[in-house]
Amino acid sequence: MSKIIPVQKNDFVEVEFEDLTHEGAGVAKVDGYPLFVANALPGEKAKVKVTKVGKGFGFGRLIELYEKSPYRVEAPCAIYKECGGCQLQHLSYEGQMVAKEKQVREVLTRIGKLGNVKVHPVLGMKEPWHYRNKSQVPIGEHEGGLIGGFYQRRTHQIINMETCLIQQSKNDEVVQLVKEICGRFGIRAYNEVAHKGMLRHVMVRYGLVTGEVMVVLVTKTRELPNQEKLVAEIVKQVDGLTSLVLNVNPNKTNVIMGEETRVLWGQEVIHDYIGDIKFAISPRSFYQVNPEQTKVLYDKALEYAELSGEETVIDAYCGIGTISLFLAKQARKVYGVEIVPEAIEDARRNAKLNGIVNTEFAVGAAEKVIPDWYEAGISADVLVVDPPRKGCDQALLETILAMKPKRVVYVSCNPATLARDLRILEDGGYRTIEVQPVDMFPQTMHCEAVAKLDFIEEV
């Protein structure tokens, strides 16, 4: 017998919110039935209109607040409620830290059955605004002119934006200039429904330490009208421009970048530093968007690795070698593996750039390469993983349990899959010593964390 749903669409109900979803919506329950409501905070009491009802949960719209959270603030962004870029501007930064620590604690307990593990308070930012060093803006048209911004929540409708409070102000400035110049030279925006037009996205990367700027024009076509004059004008107008690149994506797809990339002017990379390590960043490099907090994250990973200079370290999911190069300064040898060939090219280039000679990088899936290394006699004293949101592949976890490195440092961008994987490693003889959440993305619900695990015994 199916459970009776206690509300219907268009009902008005009075509720008290008790949690936040991973998208930042408030969670209230009506006779045990969850309602998700945007712009609501835990502890608040409100009148809500039910807007959608499903079998397991429903959605509502905030009508009237009876009791406000002490952490509620006025969102400073004028388009916050329409834009999908942030979820938590209406929650004070102190409140965000509380919510993110709670999120990590709860998933470790609920999914990982690790309620006794020490979880430290979140390491946040002194200034939690204007931190992103990479802007990726979809381009559209309105009343004959080019517009660019974030997509409206749950749509592909572009909300035009001139400034973004979580972007480096330099990125905003460059996006506006490029948008204006392209419009002046008759560049039409790509229309994803009709699959016509040219300019799909403008991407800007900014080296926070070096001041170098990269502009990437993502287009449907290989050539642009007035291309020489267009390039000359962008070069003239954009201060600090080091690299101007065209990326061609002719496909009908939501994927931003295509396979073909060519330099229109300047270098193929820009450079930046995390700590004292210099990185070459190409258009398609994965490079952390918050370099200040990346240093905090990597310092904690390095602390947890407890290196003496004698260890062999394996860095799974090594990307462009960011963590690997930090580890290499304190280890005997570091092996890195990454499935994206361009990332491994970047990793090797970055090692050479910094004069680091005790690293070795391989292209391939971590769950395939690391078992091959193990069979060939390469075994890690310390193993570092920094997987995508889906967490570690089962084959990699099995290899870790077979290899038995004395320590595992798990860098996670998804607390839920972190908790799942920690449970598997704990069942295989590891003990989670501590977990440190790090706020890499203020004003959003995303929270990264670093976990330290030691091998304790055979099970």
Other Cβ atoms closer than 10 A to 234: 21
Angle between helices 415-427 and 93-110 (to 10 degrees): 30
Can you say whether the dihedral through the CA atoms of 39, 42, 46, 52 is positive or negative?
positive
Written as one string, the DSSP assignment of 161-187 is: -S--TTB-HHHHHHHHHHHHHHHHTTP
Helices 394-403 and 366-375 pack at an angle, to 10 degrees, of: 30
* 3 state DSSP class of 231: helix
CB contact at 8 A, 272 and 212: yes
Per the residue annotation, which of 77, 164, 182, 413 is the catalytic one? 413
Residue pair 370/337 in contact (Cβ under 8 Å)? The answer is yes
User: How far is Cα 255 from Cα 253, in angstroms, rounded to an integer?
Assistant: 5
Q: Confirm if 341 and 363 have CB atoms less than 8 A apart.
A: yes
Alpha-carbon torsion (60, 439, 306, 402), positive or negative: positive
Dihedral (CA of 198, 201, 205, 206) sign: positive
Strand, helix or coil for residue 100: helix
**Active-site residue flag, 413:** yes
Active site residues: 413
